[in-house]
Amino acid sequence: MNAAWIITKKRDGQELAGQEIRDLINGYVAGDVPDYQMAAWAMAVFLKGMSTAEIAALTHAMLESGEVLAHTPGAPRVDKHSSGGIGDKASLPLAPALACCGVRVPMISGRGLGATGGTLDKLEAIPGYRTDLSIEEMQRVADEVGCVISSASEKLVPADRKLYALRDVTATVPCIPLITASIMSKKLAEGLDALVLDVKHGSGAFMKTLDDARALARSLVDTGKRMGVATSALLTDMNQPLGRLAGNALEVDESVACLQGGGPADLREVTLELGAEALVLAGAATDTADGLKQMTKAIDSGAALEKFAEMVRAQGGDLDAPRPLAGATEIASATAGVVAAIDTEQLGWAVIEMGGGRKQLGDPIDHGVGLEMLVRLGDPVDAEQPLAKLYSRDAARAAAEKMVLSAIQIGDGPVAAPPLIAERVC
């Protein structure tokens, strides 16, 4: 195999053969193809795209780069995966709530990607929480607790583990073929019966328009169905952060608030709707209304919070241990008006600037930094009114404040926020 030739072919817009894709992925996982060649190839795919056959071959090659979780007998195995957004912490309340509704959730999650935060980075804000479970540990926690959230590893989808981290720092994330293969290789390795995808669109999503989100959802759903997993997607809004808080420890706090029956309305709605969709797909709810009823009961009874604490304990963490935050400062509006638009991606880059995400492979994460939105799209604001609160260290504060201030656009007219859930793709 000659990696340079495979890169050349893709750079020139040609279709790669399945064997070429398999050779490249196997070579990368084995360490024979270096990061710089893989990064060049990912950029060529980003620029030239892939056919459906290439996407299928890439997904299979990544799935087959490691072992898969066995589909053990018992309750249906379900999961949800988000295409990524700012403040998107829905996996944290969703997994334990689903586990309270008679299904098992063996979730393989990711770290921060591009401007978006990652579920694993958020969970690691909980002292002691281990995201590096072995396959056997994942199976045991999924079977005994009902839900587990851990990472890909050298044995479990190692191709995505490596390529995901590389794409994060090489500007090759917003690409339908690479996202499809990344998400679906992880999800297909979980031995699932049903999968619901949360495909985000808007200023803080990889898919900026609803049309692009539809195309990504189609690609994901078709791949899942072809592999025998009941799959559907909800297209959800990311023109402003989900909830009020973005940043690792802050998002754990907001997830706990959601599991206590409180927290922001949009986080609760997305959690309930995605959960209901997963329950229906898995045959654990008769219809969406029944699914919503089961999910609401799981959260409002406190059972889902207790399940979350149980999962955290099973993974070595202590939900009651303090999760310290950096010092807080507020940024205020220069003018009066209405919140007309939010550059949500820029808010994500601001969190990374503060140290809440990575700029380079292997950068350490500061779990105590982040931001709290004090306004939402369409809100009226006065001059000098605080728009956001930043939790930051001294070195990055000024740059992050500037980024957040310029991301929140104040205009004149009334502004209607887009619907939180735009469509269902099945």
Query: Which CB atom, from 164 or from 308, has the smaller least distance to ligand URA?
Result: 164
Q: Residue 364 CB, nearest distance to ligand URA (Å)?
A: 21
**DSSP state letters, 137-176:** HHHHHHHHTSEEEEE--SSBSHHHHHHHHHHHTTT--S-H
Binding part of the chain for ligand URA, among 38-46, 49-57, 175-183, 286-294 by CB under 6 A, reads 175-183
Nearer to ligand URA, 182 or 392 (CB): 182
Q: DSSP states of 9-77 as a string?
A: HHHTTPPPPHHHHHHHHHHHHHTSS-HHHHHHHHHHHHHH---HHHHHHHHHHHHTTSB-----SSSPB
Here's the x/- map for ligand URA, 252-281, by CB under 6 A: it reads as ------------------------------
The piece of 182-190, 273-281, 325-333, 337-345 that touches ligand URA (CB under 6 A) is 182-190
Q: Where are the alpha helices (DSSP H) in 189-285?
A: 210-226, 248-259, 265-281
Element (H, E) at 409: strand 408-411
111 is catalytic: no
Q: Is 110 in the site for ligand URA (CB under 6 A)?
A: yes
Residue of 325, 341, 310, 356 lying closest to 95 (CA atoms): 310
Residue 71 designated active-site: no
Q: Which of 182, 185, 232, 255 is catalytic?
A: 182
Q: Which H or E run includes 313?
A: helix 303-314
Let me know if 397 is a catalytic residue: no
Q: Which is nearer to ligand URA, 66 or 368 (CB)?
A: 66
Q: Which run of H or of E encompasses 120?
A: helix 119-123
* Residue number with the smallest Cβ distance to ligand URA: 182
N-term to C-term CA, the chain: 38
Q: How far apart are CA 290 and CA 252, in angstroms?
A: 28
- The contact mask relative to ligand URA for 134-173 (x = CB under 6 A, - = no) is ------------------------------x--------x
Give the binding range for ligand URA (CB under 6 A) out of 22-30, 177-185, 356-364, 373-381.
177-185
Catalytic choice (81, 89, 122, 367): 81
* Alpha carbon distance 308, 250 (integer Å): 16
Residue 346 in contact with ligand URA, rule: CB under 6 A: no
Nearest to 81 by CA among 160, 169, 5: 160
Q: Which two tokens stand for residue 364?
A: 């350490």
Nearest C-alpha neighbor of 424 from the set 177, 217, 207: 217
Cβ at position 129, least distance to ligand URA in Å: 19
Task: Specify whether 367 is catalytic.
Answer: no
182 binds ligand URA (CB under 6 A): yes
* Options 45, 107, 183, 196; binder of ligand URA; rule CB under 6 A: 183
Q: Which residues are catalytic?
A: 81, 160, 167, 182, 186
Using CB under 6 A, list all residues that contact ligand URA.
83-84, 110, 113, 164, 173, 178-179, 182-183, 186
